[in-house]
Amino acid sequence: MSDTQNPHLASHLQSLLPDSRKSLRDHVIPKLLKSIHDIAGTLRTSPSVTQVGTANAFGDDQLNVDVLAEEHIRKTITQCSSIVTASSEEDPVEKSSASSSTSSPAAKGKEVYTLAFDPLDGSSIIAPNWTVGTIMGIWDGPSALHQNPQEKQIAAILGVFGPRTTAMVALRLPGSDISTCFEVGFADDGRFEVVRKDVKLSQPPFKTRYFAPANMRAAAESPAYLSLINHFIKEKYTLRYSGGLVPDVVHALVKGHGVYLSPVTEKSKAKLRRLYELAPVALIVECAGGAALDSATGERVLEKNIEDTDERGGLICGNGEEVEAVKKAFLS
């Protein structure tokens, strides 16, 4: 997509990113957003959701739409010379991209990025045609492993495939005042524009408060989790939980309030992968003024290096005061 086709996005990125991030600004982010539009088109025209008879490296059964979404993003990577390495939840090994070469600008000490992505998050709810999403984390340098996420993950994108196709984009460059989250909307003809330039979670008092309790079955074995859910009900919070990480987090960002909790207990082990789900979501939420903690430890998600692509954790995220209250109740 050219700047003339998407002037709103081009001008907004121009106002945010310096020339030292020209490839990120002019190619990487616009092309990755274009891939989200392409995935939306594939989902919209796919008559069914079926298992393809294969599993990814983590042992998860693959769906036809998982494979198609992966292919869209891999194709996009080949068009971005500064993305020199990529890995995904479907193919969780960092590999050099086809676009990288010793003669490319990236190889000469200019912009070098790694993409870590979950091509289609929400496989358990896509068959009944519920909203699902794509999660992307853009890392500075040739690898996302053994790096400090706070310093090296500089951008994240959450693509949302519902009645409309939208995306949340976060940018945070260490050593600068760039820390922002904005929302992009897509049209059928491929145009997209910035529909909200500054996405921020609200400050109290709140007209309506929302909660999204993942894996509610864990409440049967965790008195602390059961107590938390009862607290939300007694305090008249509104339940907004779809079973999909992306739509539930984005709901809070749109409404300005929400707390999402994916618990880790003795019997309910951590499920969310830190590289492909937790780190990108945490950057989005923090850039929107919220907080994101590991529900197993209470630590900030972005504080701890990711050493392996299969590292997993829990999640508490949303408005800061809500996250702190959940941490105190769940982990004390």
Q: What is the pLDDT of residue 5?
A: 58
Amino acid identity of residue 124, one-letter, is S
Contacts of 185 (CB under 8 A, 6+ apart): 164, 165, 166, 192, 193, 195
DSSP state of 300: B
First to last CA, the chain: 50
Average pLDDT over all residues of the chain: 93
Task: Supply the CATH classification number for the domain 7-196.
Answer: 3.30.540.10
Longest dimension (CA), the chain: 62
- pLDDT, one tens digit per residue, over 224-269 is 999 999 999 999 999 999 999 999 999 999 999 999 999 999 899 9
| Architecture of the domain made up of 210-331 | 3-Layer(aba) Sandwich (3.40)
Q: What is the pLDDT of residue 59?
A: 67
- pLDDT, one tens digit per residue, over 28-46 is 999 999 999 999 999 999 8
Q: Are 139 and 116 in contact (CB under 8 A)?
A: yes
Q: Where in the chain is the domain with CATH 3.30.540.10?
A: 7-196
Q: What is the pLDDT of residue 1?
A: 46
Could you tell me the pLDDT band of residue 110, with boundaries at 50, 70 and 90? Answer: confident
Nearest Cα to Cα of residue 259 among 293, 299, 298, 296: 293
Residue 166 pLDDT more than 50?
A: yes
Cα dihedral 178→182→186→190 (10° resolution):
-10
Q: What is the pLDDT of residue 102?
A: 40
Tell me the pTM. Answer: 0.94
- pLDDT, one tens digit per residue, over 6-35 is 768 999 999 999 999 999 999 999 999 999
Average confidence (pLDDT) over 315-329: 97
Residue 103 pLDDT more than 50?
A: no
Task: Name the strands in the sheet holding 238-239, side by side, starting at the edge strand that comes first in the sequence.
Answer: 238-239, 210-213, 259-262, 315-318, 291-293
Q: What is the pLDDT of residue 99?
A: 60
Q: Where in the chain is the domain with CATH 3.40.190.80?
A: 210-331
Q: What is the pLDDT of residue 106?
A: 45
